[in-house]
Amino acid sequence: MEVEIKFRIPDPEKIERVLRDRAEFVIEKIEHDYYFNHPCRDFRETDEALRVRKDVEGVTLTYKGKKIDSETKTREEFKVKLDNFEAARKILEKLGFRKAGEVVKRRKIYRDGDVIICLDHLDGIGSFVELEIESDDVEEAKRRVFRYAEMLGLGGEKSIRKSYLEMVLDVADSN
Ligand code: ATP
Ligand code: CA
Ligand code: CA
Question: Using one digit for the tens of pLDDT, what is the confidence trace for 96-130?
Answer: 999 999 999 999 999 999 999 999 999 999 999 99
- Tell how strand 98-112 and strand 24-37 pair up: antiparallel
Tell me which residues have their CB within 5 A of the ion that is ligand 2.
4, 132
pLDDT digits (tens, 9 = 90+) for 11-57: 999 999 999 999 999 999 999 999 999 999 999 999 999 999 999 99
Answer yes or no: is pLDDT of 9 > 90.
yes
User: Is the CB of 64 within 6 Å of ligand 1?
Assistant: yes
User: Is the CB of 47 within 6 Å of ligand 1?
Assistant: yes
ipTM: 0.86
- Tell how strand 58-64 and strand 49-55 pair up: antiparallel
The pLDDT of residue 175 is 86
CB contact at 8 A, 7 and 128? yes
User: Is the CB of 129 within 6 Å of ligand 1?
Assistant: no
| Atom nearest to 42 CA in ligand 1 | 27
CB contact at 8 A, 49 and 41? no
Virtual CA dihedral for 36, 38, 44, 49, nearest 10 degrees?
A: -50
User: How far is the centre of ligand 3, averaged over its atoms, from the C-alpha of 91 (Å)?
Assistant: 25
Give me the domains of the chain, ranges plus CATH numbers: 2-174 (2.40.320.10)
- Is 63 marked active-site? no
